[in-house]
Each structure stands twice: as structure tokens, then as C-alpha cells.
């Protein structure tokens, strides 16, 4: 349809040109054609707008007007403004600070207390070894390009998005090209270093936007803030990029604290840091932010949830991967049905998705502006079973605010391997269960000659590994087929040969067994949700007065005390009485006894929320 | 008295030696003498103990036993323990995490709500310029010495303290030397780099304790964790060493938020970082810690406090500087008297000292184990008017937990100068007040030739500076005496000459005047107070059971639900009912339905506090 409009515009445009050439610029025919041309162009624009953002009918405030209010009433201000600020750092002023405290109290109530979770607080400073194991040292990076002239740094995927946005501004671009560009834009952050370099430098011939200089090839820039712990310069540390690792490394102690009982969850509220290359997007992309994370540890084969029936009927706006590839539509589906159909991988994951939805609504996120988007297979980490993002619609479009992932047993296994620590829970059987396992017969002479002192520990490690019957079968098969096989334990890698051992499968009755728990992780970006709350709570009244309509539970100020006349001693005594009573009941309030008109004082209070 | 005991011991010791030489080792005389010698030595030891720590009568738990409990019940555990940990970093497990949240709620209630303070949250990452202005880049350091062999780092003052502690172990050291050593120890952290180097290397011939290698000369090591903000490597940043600067740089916005009204206070709870050279002392000297700071902005000449009468009769254990130099005794004095006598500099400072005392008691600090120690003139920053530390007695001795300082207008003035920002408040007079000020007559030709384009701004800057009549008088006097004078403004330093201007004093009636507020700052080390609460809440019952007797308001778990028989469905339903009711009322609880005896379950709960 857009292409046929474009053809009409081109035709009519040509006709107008011809009329003008012929000196008929003032004729009725020419005037009519120009009028018609205007209409056609408007129709094309409207069409493109709808296609570009299918959710443009959702109501959001103008971001400049809102940001003006947020700064003016000191909800959020750029940090160190008198020193010209630092990009990506913001301070929370009094109303946002109170709002955040209330928000976190609600969060604790909704998750930690109601779900009987443990809560811990680990440090921001994190040593190299922990983040090497978690993969952040190697993989927590964005692709960067440098202006070869002045050294300005750009994020490659953002450059690509900008290039495409500029190209798409040309209304006359044929639909096919337009579609291809949109496709490229959608996966801007999924390209490899080489792919995005090729697109930017060879295909689109992009130069540094500010100077027009050549750009360097893209290269990965690690997003962690590094620092030296201690005075020797020998202990590399980072500011944590997430709070989760502080929970994982404490797993054995937490399990003991919980009396060995599984499943259980541990929560943490704390700061995360991310050294953004060129932060933009206001409060949505910052270098320091508050996170609230939950790690729910559960048996990998028992992901049912006892309280699942309580949420099974909750109907949620789901955006499964099949729909993202298919019709692009969000689907209203009950959690119960979604788990039954396998759309959501398991009950525990479904339970948390539903609980997150309830929480977000309770703090003021509009139901109409919320969806749960499933990660595509290409987006998801190789170890994860399933992952859903709670996305909230704002003036910046859909924003990922909570990630709810089934991370399987990846994290615990990695830390167990790296530190040679047991990161397992015990499963007890009421009646003993028959279980297969491998038994090795060692040729101790051959092993002793090959591995010397290490042999003794190796017997133990192999025996332990063979408890897993599949591992035992694989190892035996490999030895039989290749005559040798590598065996990796915490003490190193060893090459075993056929001559050293043979493995038989046996079975025994056991009443207990060790396993590495799976982790279901709901991870909240607190700052982003707060920003979405600002947008969803804002409205301008008919008389242009601005109101922040916060939910009472999180409103920074619950009520205002405004004496009608100013400086009246009797009335002031009443104000003091009321203030005392409110304080005693722990109700936050604000006294406004300035001489301003009551209407003016009302609207002042409206702006900081009531 | 100690010296006469030593003389007796030496004499009797000599006599015993002689008797033994004479073969009379088994004689009654010899036996009696040895018995007597033992008694004398015990008496000497007792005497030295009392002198060394005059507060040794105060009851504190054994720190090893307590620390064992704290780790075992996961109050506090070393961070990243499975990676062998990092010195000076600790995680808060579930009970301490809940305790801390309750503590901070109490703090907010007691200070922020009851005093109507503003509260903000600024960032941990702080750019170089801010901490250069505050003085931390240049002065926030400890003196360090390195093992010239293996590079191990030592804190010079701690080395000195250890050396002296070892020397003092010699009971026979004469009293005069002993006293001199104690004097040196007391000011270990006050010596200059050269002085402490001389003491350690020349006088005490100290080598590296671990290796016996030579030590380097002491040199200052900055205690801030540095990092690079952004990818360019051009923006040096630090993790904040205190939260206060985040408030100071926001002063103009905070004053506007407060409707221009003075005085007012702003609070902040947040993390502080300190890259300790060699942290020891468990929870008392850590590299990352929670702080709660208040900056109370007040007119420098009006430090009365409207609510002072409400605390004036509070009797506090004060340890003024005069007593520290004098009899070394703590004095019980009402705040009202202390301010009247000038012991405490002003009402606002006194008010906060009293409020801090009330707060600490309300969270479980023993009154007997608390004192307020005034800083000696040599300890205090040059700009401060007065400073008191709330010190709490623990098994580590007296520990500084809260600092309450009148920092005058130093911080605001420094930031104003560095950023050329107005950091002032307005004082309004009901009836206009006659005020003197300076008026300059400029020789614009001479100034124009000397300062070119800068002259125009310079006229304004000089005019503004001359509003301060004392400055005006000084400048004119200097010009008259020396024929020239330096003038410093935010735009640089300029040399003015007699030929350029002359200054007359005039007066006018004004109804408003700008001033830079003073700051009274109560600053809380939250982690240290929590540790003191652990110590003061701990006791071992007669049957050796350990109990944490927390105040209800901050107890991590308010009650336990323990069904008397295990696995009884009817009883479990009752437990569920109770649990639901408690949850609804936001009362934290713990269900213990394990099969353990009720006595055992009671004592489990005792250990995490009820």
C-alpha cells in the first residue's frame, strides 16, 4: 500500500513540475494538484508511523515535558551538575528517594516476606576470579568504534541504528528496502564484530557523526568498572555488574542457613554498575543503578510450584517467541494454560512471571503498557532453559524492566568447578531407590606410572564422576572406541587410556543423592521501573496543571497540611497538632504554610504526587 | 607505685637466684620467696592492665566466641569465601540483613521523619574534580611502608602501635619509659611522614614483621578506589569515601526544593569505600561500608536550635578535650549545661549530640558503654569549629561510631569557588538594616590596559567582593601600604595596583543579604554501630546457650512459630493460619517445624535474636 502511494506521489509531483514549467503555477489545476499532493504525503507519513511503531496508540507523556517536571521538582537531577555532570549518573532528590524507599518496601513485602525468602547483602567490590568464572570478564562487553581523529567513542550498534533511522526518514524509499533496513536495525546488537564492521564501513560508509573523520574497526569494550583492591596493585577488582554472583558464591552457606531444605529463594537489593560507552536515554541507560534480584534454587527435575494454583488463572499479555517471528501480536493467556501448552517452560517460571505482573500493577504500572516477551533462541544464553522479559511501554518505546530466566544449573556448576567447592543439595528418598552407576576397575600400576602422586586423588574423582551413569557409559564408550579419553576434574585434565581402567554399570539402592540445583532468576531494574512509574503516573489536567498520580503505597508524600491563612497563631497550633499526630503514625506529610493561594499550593503538591 | 613493685621484684628475684646458687633451692626460705615473687608479679600485671585500659571493668563478650556465632548463624560472613575471600570485605547474611533494614528504618524515623529532613541518594561513582575540591585527592591517605623484599604493604601507624605493644609487654620496663611509649602510641596516626619514619627505622629499628627484610621509607597511599568513567580513559573517577559530598554539590537545588527556607537538613544513606592498606579488626575496619550522614545547613551566626529545650536536660557522658589532657575522666553533664559553659560550641551541635545518644540507646547500645569524646585541637580540621565522636566500648576498646562536627562553611565555599556557583542562602530582615560595604572607583583606562577583555567581569567580581566590608577595608589598606594587592576570583588571580582603584566605605539600608551557611554534620558508621549492637546484645546463659537480646524494634525476627509435634496435619493448619496473620500484619517470623526438641528450637531462635 505504501509503495502504491509513493507511485501516485511521484506521478502527481511530476505533473505539478510540468504545470509550473508551462507557466501554469497559479492555475486551479496546479493548486488542486498541490493540495492533493499534500494529502497523499500526509497519508504516507501516517502509514509509515503506524508500521514503525505498532503500539503508537498507547498513551505516553511527552518526555521533554515530563523530564522538565522531574528535574524542576528534584525527583531526579544529573549528578554533580555544578561540575557539568557526568553522563549516565543521576541523583535521586527527596521525592524520588522517598518513592524508591516505599517501592523497595513494597518489593520486600511482596517477594521476600510473602514468599519467605532469605535476603542477603554482598559487596559491590568483586575480585577478578569471581567475574572470570561468571563469564563477565570475557563476555560483558559492547562493540565500540573510535573516531580516528579525536578519539571520540561510539557504540557500534547505536551507530547502526542511527544510520538506519536516518535512511528510513526518506519516505520515498521502496517498501522492500525499508523492510530490509528494519530487519538490520532489529538485530543491531546481535551482529558479530566483523559483521557490524562490514555493514557500517563497507555498506553504509559511515563516518564519525561529530567530525566526519574515519572510524576505527569495531572492537569489544568491557563494560565493567575496574579498580585495584588493596595497595599492592596485585588484586584486580571490579564493581559488580549484577548482584546475583554475591548470592551464588554464598549458596552452600545459604542452604545450611535454610536447614538444608530445598527449594528456597534468596533475594538481594543493591547497586549494579555498567560503564556505558556513550550513555543516552536518560534514566533508562545509566552507569550506576539499583537492582533487586531473586535466585530461586530448585531441583532441576521438580520445577512444579506449590503455590502455582493461586496464580494459574491470572491472564497475562504474553509475547512468545513464535508470535515474534509470526504475526507479531501479543497474546492474552492465563499462566496455567501457557505452562500447560509448554509456552512457558515450567510452573516455577510461570509462577514468578505472574507474581511479577501482580507486583508491577500494584506499584502503578499500567496493565495496558505491560507485556512479557520471551527471548528468541538466538538471544538466550546456551545454558538457559527459558527466559521472559517484562517490558513496559514508555515514550522510549518498549523497555525491558524485569528479566525472568531459568538459568538451569550453570552458575553453581561454574563456581563449583572454579573453586573445587561442593555446590549441591541433597535429595532424600523416603524409600530407597534403585540407581545405576559406573564402577571402575583400575590398573593401578599403569595409572601410578602415568600420574604419579596425582593418581590417588584421581581414583576418587573418577569414582565420584561415575555416580552419574550417563557419564560412566560415555566414558567407557569413548575408551572402547578411541582407546583413550580426556578426564577433567578440579585438579586438572588427565588423559586416560584403555589400559588404565574399564567401567562396568552396576546398580544399588540409595536413600539420598546429591544434585546441583537449577536457578530461576527474576531480576528487576529498579531505576527503569521507577521511570516507567513516573510516566504512567503523570497527567496534565485540563488547566495545564501537572499531576503525579502515584499509588498511595509508594507515594513519597501521603498528605499535605495547608493552613488557609498564614501566620495565625491559633491555626499554627492546629497544624503542629496534626503534624505530631501524622508523625506518630509514621505517615509522611508536607506542611505548606507559605502565603501562596490554596490553589497554587494544591498544584505544588500535585506535582510531587499525593 | 608500679616502679616500687618492680624494684621489690628485682630485689627478691636476685635473692632467689642467690639462694639457688647456694644450693638452697628446696629450702622453705626459697619456696616462700618464690611464692611472694608470684604475688608481686600478679599485682604488677593487674596494675598495668588497669592503667593501660581504664575501662577494662566494662563487660564485653569474648570476640572469638561472638565472631564464631556471627559466622555460624550467617549474620556476617567473609565475602567470596569460596574464592578464599578478600580482606576487609564482608557479606551480611539473612539475620544481619534484616537487622540492618530495621536499623535504617529506625534511623529514618528518628532523624529524617521526626526532624523533617530532606533525603537524597547520590552516586557512588564520583569524578576527580569533586574530590579534588573536597581535599580527598590530596589528603585522604595513610602512611605506608613496603617490605623491600617481597613488596608486602604495611600501615606505618599500625606498625608503630605493634612495636610499642610488644615493648610494653616487658613488665619490668621503668614507668618513665612506659609512659613515653604510651604517649608515642597514642599519637601514632598524627606523626608526619618524616617523624614516623625516623621513629620506626632509626629509633626502634623495625624490620618487616613477616620476613625480617628492610622496610621502605613511609609514603602516603591514597585510600580512594580509582576507576575510569567512560571508555576514553580521560575521566578519572573514584568510589566515594563519604556520602556528604553528594549533598554539598546539590545544595542550591536542595535550598530551592525547601522553598528557600533556612535552616534545613539533608540526609543520605549509602555506601562509602576506603581502600585500607591492610585491613584487620573484623567488621570495624572494612573496605566497603554503609554510612548514614546528615548535613544540617544553618546560619553561621544563628546556631540556636528551636527544639533544644526538649533535650537540654539529657545528661550525657562527655569527654571534653580539657579532660583528655587533664584527669582523663568522662564527665556526666546535661547538654544544656555543656552548651552554656561553652564545652559544646553551640545549641545545634548539642542538639544533635543528644539526639544521637537517644538514638543509640533506642537501638540497643548500652548507656554504660557510650561516651562523647571531643576532638583535640590538633585532631580537628582547621576550618571546623567543634567536633565530637560518639565512641562505643567493645572488645576492641573504644570505637568511634558517629562523628558530630561543626564544619563551618568550608565545604560549600570550596565548591562555590571551584565551580563559580552561588552556594549561598538569603537572609531577609523584617525591617531594613544599615550595613557597611565598600565602593570602588575604578581607573578604567589602567584596568583595561592591564586586563583587556577580563576587565569587565573583574569590575563585577570586585564590586561583589566589596559587599563584605572587612574584605573592603583589608584590600584598601593593602593597596595603600604596598601599592598593590592580589585579587582572587573564580576567574583567576589578578594583581591590582594603587593606580587602578580606590575604595571608600559607605553604608546602605538592606532588607536582604546573602550568606554561606555553616554545616553541622552527624555522620554514622552503620556497620560499626551494628557490630557494637551485636556485642551489647550478646550474652551466654548459665547453660552456655548463646542469646542475642536485640531490641524488638530492630530484631531481625520478631517471633518464632514452633508446633509442638511434627507432621500433625491439624497443627500444621494452625501454623499456616498464624503465619498468614503475621504476614498480613508485616511481622517478621520464622517457622521451625523440624523434629528437634522444643528446647533446641528455642535456643536456635535465641541465637538469631528474638
B564-582 pLDDT, tens digit per residue, is 877 778 888 888 899 889 8
For B212-245, the three-class secondary structure string (H helix, E strand, C coil) is: CCCECCCEEEECCCEEECCCCCCCEEEECCCCHH
Select from A91, A257, A594 the Cβ nearest to the Cβ of B259. A594
pLDDT at A610 over 60: no
Inspect the interface and report whether the beta carbons of A86 and B127 lie closer than 8 Å.
yes
Least confident among A281-295, A587-601, B220-234: A587-601
Cell numbers placing A272: 549494579
pLDDT more than 70, % of chain A = 98
ipTM of the complex as predicted = 0.86
Answer yes or no: is pLDDT of A382 > 80. no
Q: Is A1 exposed, middle or buried (0-12, 13-18, 19+ CB in 10 A)?
A: exposed
Q: Which of A481, A498, A516 is nearest to A440 (CA)?
A: A498
pLDDT digits (tens, 9 = 90+) for A267-325: 999 999 999 998 987 889 999 999 999 999 999 999 999 999 999 999 999 999 988 87
Average pLDDT rounded to a whole number, residues B443-472: 89
Q: Do A118 and B94 touch (CB under 8 A)?
A: yes
CB contact under 8 A, B113 and A228: no
* CA distances, A29 to each of A6, A13, A20, A33, B581 (Å): 21, 13, 11, 6, 81
Q: A141 near A222, Cβ under 8 Å?
A: yes
Nearest residue, CB atoms, B232 vs list A153, A231, A415? A153
Nearest CB to B277; choose among A153, A231, A253? A231
Query: Which residue in the set B82, B86, B94 is minimally distant from A419, CB to CB?
Result: B82
Q: In this predicted structure, what is the pLDDT of residue B53?
A: 60
Rounding to the nearest 10 degrees, give the CA dihedral for residues B324, B329, B332, B337.
Answer: -40
Selected for mutation to probe chain A from B77, B85, B86, B419 (highest A CB count within 10 Å) is: B86
Of B73, B97, B277, which is closest to A121 when you measure between CB atoms? Answer: B97
Distance from CA of B285 to the nearest CA of A (A): 13
pTM of the predicted model as reported, rounded to 2 decimal places: 0.86
Q: Which residues of B25-63 are buried (b: 16+ CB within 10 A; e: fewer)?
A: eeeeebeebeeebeebbeebeeebeeeeeeeeeeebbeb
Phi, psi of B542 (to 5 degrees): -50, -40
Q: Find, in chain A, the residue whose alpha carbon is nearest to that of B128.
A: A83
Report which of residues A318 and B179 the model is more confident about: A318
Q: In whole angstroms, what is the distance from residue A367 CA to residue B291 CA?
A: 38
Distance of alpha carbon B424 from alpha carbon A146, whole angstroms = 43
Put simply, the answer to whether A275 touches B228 (Cβ < 8 Å) is yes
Record: contact B225-A221, CB cut-off 8 A: no
Is the distance from CB of B548 to CB of B608 less than 8 angstroms?
A: yes
- Taking only the tens place, the pLDDT of each residue in A52-84 is 666 777 889 988 999 999 999 999 999 999 999
pLDDT for position A476: 93
Task: Judge whether residue B326 has pLDDT over 80.
Answer: no
How close, in Å, is residue A468 to chain B by CA atoms?
A: 25
| Residues 6 or more apart whose Cβ sits within 8 Å of residue B545 | B603, B606
Q: Are B64 and B72 in contact (CB under 8 A)?
A: no
For residue B375, give the nearest of B324, B303, B300, B315 by alpha carbon.
B324
pLDDT tens column, B46-69? 777 766 666 777 889 988 999 999
Cell, residue B551: 531490641
Maximum mean pLDDT: which of A443-452, B343-352, B596-605: B343-352
The sign one gets for the Cα dihedral A92, A96, A97, A102 is: negative
DSSP H or E stretch at residue B373? strand B370-374
Contacts of A239 in chain B (CB under 8 A): 124, 227, 239
* Measured distance CA(B193)–CA(B218) in Å, rounded: 6
Mutate which: B99, B231, B246, B251, vs A, most A CBs within 10 A: B231
The per-residue pLDDT of chain B, averaged, comes to 91
Residue of B nearest to A288 (CA): B123
How many angstroms separate the CA of residue B404 from the nearest CA in chain A? 23
Q: What is the pLDDT of residue A50?
A: 66
Name the DSSP letter for residue B147.
B
Which region holds residue B85: left if phi is over 0, alpha if psi is between -120 and 50, else beta? left
Answer whether B229 sits within 8 Å of A153, measured CB to CB: no
Size of interface A-B (CB pairs under 8 A): 210
**Chain A nearest-CA residue for B109:** A586
pLDDT above 70 (res B550): yes
A421: closest chain B residue by CA: B82
**Average pLDDT, integer, range B408-417:** 92
CA distances from A335 to A14, A298, A307, A314, A362 (A): 57, 20, 13, 6, 18
Q: Which residues of A fall within a CB distance of 8 Å from B254? A: 74, 93-94
Question: Tell me, what's the pLDDT at A420?
Answer: 85
Residue for grid cell 629499628: B205
How much is the pLDDT for B281?
74
Determine the Cα–Cα distance for residues A139 and A55; give it in Å rounded to an integer: 33
Q: What is the Rg, in whole angstroms, of the alpha carbon atoms belonging to chain A?
A: 31
**Is A277 close to B90, i.e. CB distance below 8 A?**
no
Q: Residue A571: what pLDDT?
A: 85
Distance CA B583, CA B577 (A): 10
Asked whether the beta carbons of residue A230 and residue B144 sit closer than 8 angstroms, the reply is: no
A152-156, B52-56, B502-506 — which is least confidently predicted? B52-56
Give yes or no for a contact between A60 and A395, defined as CB atoms under 8 angstroms apart: yes
Q: Which pLDDT belongs to residue B280?
A: 81
Q: Comparing A102 with A584, which gets the higher pLDDT? A: A102
pLDDT tier for residue A170 given thresholds of 50, 70 and 90 = confident
- Phi first, then psi, for residue B543 (nearest 5°) are -85, 20
Q: Is B480 left (phi over 0), alpha (psi -120 to 50) or beta?
A: alpha
Amino acid at each position: 500500500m505504501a509503495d502504491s502511494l509513493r507511485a501516485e506521489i511521484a506521478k502527481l509531483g511530476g505533473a505539478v513540475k510540468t504545470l509550473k514549467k508551462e507557466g501554469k503555477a497559479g492555475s486551479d489545476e496546479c493548486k488542486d494538484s498541490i493540495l492533493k499532493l499534500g494529502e497523499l504525503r500526509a497519508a504516507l507519513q501516517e502509514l509509515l508511523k503506524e508500521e514503525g511503531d505498532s503500539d503508537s496508540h498507547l498513551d505516553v507523556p511527552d518526555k521533554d515535558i515530563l523530564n522538565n517536571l522531574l528535574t524542576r521538582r528534584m525527583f531526579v537531577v544529573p549528578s554533580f551538575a555544578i561540575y557539568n555532570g557526568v553522563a549516565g549518573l543521576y541523583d535521586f532528590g527527596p521525592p524520588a528517594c522517598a518513592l524508591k524507599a516505599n517501592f523497595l518496601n513494597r518489593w520486600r513485602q511482596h517477594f521476600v516476606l510473602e514468599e519467605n525468602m532469605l535476603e542477603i547483602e554482598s559487596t559491590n567490590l568483586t575480585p577478578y576470579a569471581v567475574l572470570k568464572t561468571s563469564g563477565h570478564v570475557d563476555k560483558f562487553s559492547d562493540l565500540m568504534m573510535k573516531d580516528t581523529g579525536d578519539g571520540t567513542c561510539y557504540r557500534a550498534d547505536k551507530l547502526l541504528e542511527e544510520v538506519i533511522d536516518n535512511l528510513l526518514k526518506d519516505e520515498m524509499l521502496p517498501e522492500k528496502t525499508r523492510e530490509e533496513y528494519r530487519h538490520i536495525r532489529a538485530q543491531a546488537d546481535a551482529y558479530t564484530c566483523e559483521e557490524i564492521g562490514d555493514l557500517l564501513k563497507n555498506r553504509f560508509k559511515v563516518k564519525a557523526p561529530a567530525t566526519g573523520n574515519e572510524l576505527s574497526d569495531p572492537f569489544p569494550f568491557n563494560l565493567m568498572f575496574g579498580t585495584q583492591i588493596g595497595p599492592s596493585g596485585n588484586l584486580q577488582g571490579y564493581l559488580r555488574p549484577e548482584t546475583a554472583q554475591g548470592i551464588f558464591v554464598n549458596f552452600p552457606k545459604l542452604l545450611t542457613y535454610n536447614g538444608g531444605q530445598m527449594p528456597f529463594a534468596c533475594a538481594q537489593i543493591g547497586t549494579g554498575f555498567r560503564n556505558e560507552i556513550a550513555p543516552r536515554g536518560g534514566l533508562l541507560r545509566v552507569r550506576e543503578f539499583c537492582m533487586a534480584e531473586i535466585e530461586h534454587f530448585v531441583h532441576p527435575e521438580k520445577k512444579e510450584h506449590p503455590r502455582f494454583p493461586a496464580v494459574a488463572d491470572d491472564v497475562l499479555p504474553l509475547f512468545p517467541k513464535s508470535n515474534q517471528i509470526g504475526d507479531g501480536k501479543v497474546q492474552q493467556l492465563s499462566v496455567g494454560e501457557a505452562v500447560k501448552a509448554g509456552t512457558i517452560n515450567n510452573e516455577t517460571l510461570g509462577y514468578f512471571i505472574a507474581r511479577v505482573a501482580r507486583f508491577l500493577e500494584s506499584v502503578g504500572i499500567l496493565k495496558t503498557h505491560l507485556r512479557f516477551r520471551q527471548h528468541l533462541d538466538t538471544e538466550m544464553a546456551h545454558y538457559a532453559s527459558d527466559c521472559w522479559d517484562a517490558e513496559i511501554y514508555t515514550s522510549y518505546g518498549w523497555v525491558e524492566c524485569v528479566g525472568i530466566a531459568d538459568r538451569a544449573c550453570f552458575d553453581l556448576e561454574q563456581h563449583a568447578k572454579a573453586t573445587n567447592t561442593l555446590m549441591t543439595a541433597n535429595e532424600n528418598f523416603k524409600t530407597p531407590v534403585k540407581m545405576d552407576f559406573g564402577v571402575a576397575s583400575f590398573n593401578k600400576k599403569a595409572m601410578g606410572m602415568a600420574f604419579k602422586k596425582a593418581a590417588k586423588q584421581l581414583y576418587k574423582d573418577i569414582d565420584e564422576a561415575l555416580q552419574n551413569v550417563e557419564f560412566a557409559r560415555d566414558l567407557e564408550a569413548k575408551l572402547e572406541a578411541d582407546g583413550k579419553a580426556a578426564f577433567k576434574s578440579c585438579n586438572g585434565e588427565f588423559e586416560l587410556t584403555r589400559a588404565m581402567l574399564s567401567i562396568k554399570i552396576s546398580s544399588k539402592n540409595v536413600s539420598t543423592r546429591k544434585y546441583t540445583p537449577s536457578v530461576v532468576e527474576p531480576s528487576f531494574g529498579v531505576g527503569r521501573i521507577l521511570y516507567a512509574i513516573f510516566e504512567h503516573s503523570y497527567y496534565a489536567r485540563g488547566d495545564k496543571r501537572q499531576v503525579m498520580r502515584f499509588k498511595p503505597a509508594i507515594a513519597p508524600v501521603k498528605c499535605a497540611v495547608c493552613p488557609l491563612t498564614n501566620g495565625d497563631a491559633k491555626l499554627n497550633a492546629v497544624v503542629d497538632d496534626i503534624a505530631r499526630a501524622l508523625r506518630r503514625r509514621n505517615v509522611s506529610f508536607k506542611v505548606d504554610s507559605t502565603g501562596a493561594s490554596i490553589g497554587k499550593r494544591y498544584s505544588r503538591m500535585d506535582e510531587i504526587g499525593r
